[in-house]
Amino acid sequence: MNPRLMIGAPDESQGVAQPNGWMNGDIFETWLKHFVKHVRPTQDSPVLLILDGHCSHKELKVILYARRHHVHMLSTPPHTTHKLQPLDRSFMKPFKSAYAEACSSWMRQNPGLKITEYDIAQLVCSAYGKICRMEIAQKGFSCTGIHPLNPGIFSDLDFMPSRITEVDIGVFNGNEANNDIIDPTTATEDRLNESLCISPGTSGSAKIASALMKLSPLPEASKRRLATRKRRAEKSEVLTGSPFKERLEKKKNEKDAKEERKRRKCSKMLNLREPSTSANVLVGSDEASGSNETFCILCGENFEEDWIQCEDCKGWAHEKCTNTDNSTVHYRCDKCLQM
């Protein structure tokens, strides 16, 4: 993080850097601490924090920190932020307009120069100061129905776009499709209507709509998406609730156990390749003198070379003495093979 990037930023701003530019759990935890510092929630006066379902909001360390500091986190349903997020509904559009105006003013005052990353904080501060008003914040919560609470603020018309690809063809056909091949140049109108599942009393425009729906039905995109979807579908839930926290803890424990098994496996494979100096596995060492020197069980020498350990007697031998190489993992000496 370069401190120059924060020149002219709004007061109390905090700058963080991330290699790929995306939000992650560490950065969100930093933001959450900044949030708690200024909001100061208590047990008697907790705070409800409404978020989208991004993965950075669902890390265990974030959830535990929020629970300790009396912040109740609630995720919105998927694909609803354009309707339910107060910032999107009331703040972002005027902010973008104010930022574009600040950039235009800067370029007029600095002809021949270009805006760099070190100028952005000052331009953001100028735009933020112009549109950061109480009425915009209040409007954001009221137009989304969050406060004052208005469960009926969205009508059926608001849900129509999501129903376009959910239409069952049977709704238009009334029964199963007729797969008989009909020549439209010779068939009668009644026969065509029958093949397209159109009732005799249907008006002309309805006949056209039904015919088009029969010939080119709406795609059932949800079925294709669910068939190829690999990750679990998200839903709205209380992120700081005990059920969600317990699922995160279980997932973390399973991940830690898997990594531990992997670490032990790698350690075991490494031990098969490297001689140990422990006295209890030495073969050919001078135990009376207390020496931990390792001797080859084949040649009796202790000069440094690549070693390999017998799986049965745990004795060490030079790879050249055993005619093996680094690709050999399992080795048994001749003495153990004869037993």
The per-residue DSSP string of 54-89 comes to: -GGGG-HHHHHHHHHTTEEEEEPPTT-HHHH-HIII
Give the range with max mean pLDDT: 275-279, 288-292, 317-321: 317-321
Q: Which of 243-247, 274-278, 313-317 has the lowest mean pLDDT?
A: 274-278
For 217-240, write each residue's pLDDT tens digit.
Answer: 666 555 555 555 556 678 899 999
318 in helix, strand or coil?
strand
d(CA 168, CA 263): 52
For 311-333, write each residue's pLDDT tens digit.
Answer: 888 888 877 777 776 667 677 88
pLDDT tier, 111 (very low <50, low <70, confident <90, very high otherwise): very high
Instruction: Provide mean pLDDT across the span 31-48.
Output: 95
**β-strands 307-309, 47-51: how paired?**
unpaired
Which superfamily does CATH assign the domain made up of 274-339 to?
A: Zinc/RING finger domain, C3HC4 (zinc finger) (3.30.40.10)
Contact 150, 84 (CB under 8 A): no
| CB burial readout 44-83, b (16+ within 10 A) else e | eeebebbbbbeebbbbeebbebbbebbbbbebbeeebbeb
207 in helix, strand or coil?
helix
pLDDT tier, 266 (very low <50, low <70, confident <90, very high otherwise): confident
d(CA 99, CA 56): 27
Average pLDDT over the chain, rounded to whole? 78
Token pair, residue 22, equals: 């995306």
Rounded percentage of the chain residues whose pLDDT exceeds 90: 45
**β-strands 71-75, 47-51: how paired?**
parallel
Q: Which residues pair with 48 in a beta bridge?
A: 72
Place of tokens 């995306």: 22
pLDDT tier, 307 (very low <50, low <70, confident <90, very high otherwise): confident
Residues 6+ apart with CB under 8 A from 91: 131, 136, 137, 140
Token pair, residue 103, equals: 């950039």
| CB burial readout 94-117, b (16+ within 10 A) else e | ebeebbeebbeeeeeeeeeeeeee
d(CA 15, CA 10): 11
Nearest to 211 by CA among 236, 185, 184: 184
- Output the pLDDT for position 2: 92
Assess whether pLDDT exceeds 60 at residue 61: yes
Put simply, whether the predicted model's pTM sits higher than 0.75 gets the answer no
Q: Which of 23-37, 54-68, 154-168 has the lowest mean pLDDT?
A: 154-168
pLDDT tier, 74 (very low <50, low <70, confident <90, very high otherwise): very high
Instruction: Provide mean pLDDT across the span 281-286.
Output: 40
- List every span in the chain annotated with CATH 3.30.40.10: 274-339
d(CA 96, CA 102): 10
Contact 300, 284 (CB under 8 A): yes
pLDDT tier, 288 (very low <50, low <70, confident <90, very high otherwise): very low
Outline where the chain has alpha helix (H): 25-39, 60-68, 81-84, 86, 92-109, 120-131, 134-143, 160-163, 169-173, 189-195, 204-215, 221-228, 242-273, 319-322, 334-338
Instruction: Provide mean pLDDT across the span 151-169.
Output: 74
pLDDT tier, 79 (very low <50, low <70, confident <90, very high otherwise): confident
Phi and psi at 50, nearest 5°, equal -100, 125
